[in-house]
């Protein structure tokens, strides 16, 4: 099972938000490249990057920071990137630049045909980010909640080659209260696409609880704040999940 350390970018810095609130951001590192290098040095195979400003703006904003992460990671790990990727031109731009996998979130709800087109053009390199509040999909940087459930949206992409569904329970994100394992497992069992758990992962015990459900179709877990504040030792967590 993979552990995806998270780098959330706001105004060029690595931050963590509380339940997606941009006004409740804690800055952990002003040098995203060095943060990515630290994660790789400790053994991670992936780095999960989100352009938070881009998610609200609807277009990439922290491009320079992403470039620094790609340069720092090189061929030593893979980068998956989301936030503000709303058209094929942006998908092409980042995948050609060295991002291994792009995450389509808001556009997956607004324009599911674009997801299918991207999957056909870039096999194995497109993920869908589904962020849910009380079970319903939230978009535009979590500022809007739709009337479609996470499962309904995930089912739209069952046959088009999406490499992973990244499922985030917004109410758990950054709150250090543990992930919503029941909802994550229920989603994973209902679809064939691998699911990556996100939101609230705050201890090694949380990671092991997710790993115990791997046979449901869970590929891995994303963690952010707990890695920055030392609640999870990255090297030990990677070893435990291997």
Which residues are catalytic, by number?
Answer: 8, 131
Q: What is the C-alpha separation between 223 and 242, in angstroms, rounded?
A: 16
User: To 5 degrees, how large is the angle CA 84–CA 89–CA 94?
Assistant: 65
Which residues on adjacent β-strands are paired with residue 14? Answer: 9, 29
Q: What is the C-alpha separation between 191 and 181, in angstroms, rounded?
A: 16
Find tokens 């060295």 and name the residue: 98
- Minimal CA–CA distance to 35: which of 55, 63, 13, 3? 13
Largest CA distance in the chain: 42
Phi, psi of 189, deg, nearest 5: -75, -20
Other C-beta atoms closer than 10 Å to the C-beta of 162 total 24
């Amino acid at each position: 099972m993979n552990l995806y350390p998270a780098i959330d970018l706001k105004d060029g810095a690595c931050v963590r938000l509380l339940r997606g609130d941009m006004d409740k951001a804690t800055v952990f590192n002003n040098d995203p490249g060095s943060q990515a290098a630290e994660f790789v040095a400790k053994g991670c195979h992936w780095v999960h990057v989100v352009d938070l400003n881009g998610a609200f703006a609807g277009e990439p904003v922290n491009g320079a920071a992403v470039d620094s992460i790609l340069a720092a990671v090189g061929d030593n790990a893979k980068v998956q990137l989301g936030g503000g990727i709303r058209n094929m031109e942006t998908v092409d731009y980042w995948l050609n630049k060295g991002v291994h996998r792009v995450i389509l979130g808001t556009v997956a709800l607004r324009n599911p045909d674009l997801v299918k087109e991207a999957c056909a053009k870039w096999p194995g390199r497109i993920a869908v980010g589904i962020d849910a509040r009380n079970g319903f999909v939230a978009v535009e940087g979590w500022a809007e909640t739709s009337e479609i459930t996470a499962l309904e949206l995930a089912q739209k992409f069952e046959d088009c080659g999406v490499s992973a569904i990244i499922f985030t329970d917004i109410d758990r994100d950054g709150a250090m209260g543990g992930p919503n394992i029941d909802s994550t497992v229920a989603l994973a069992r209902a679809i064939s696409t691998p699911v990556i758990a996100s939101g609230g992962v705050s201890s090694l015990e949380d990671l092991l609880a997710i790993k115990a459900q791997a046979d449901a179709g869970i590929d891995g877990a994303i963690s952010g704040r707990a890695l920055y504040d030392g609640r999870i030792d990255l090297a030990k967590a990677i070893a435990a999940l291997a």
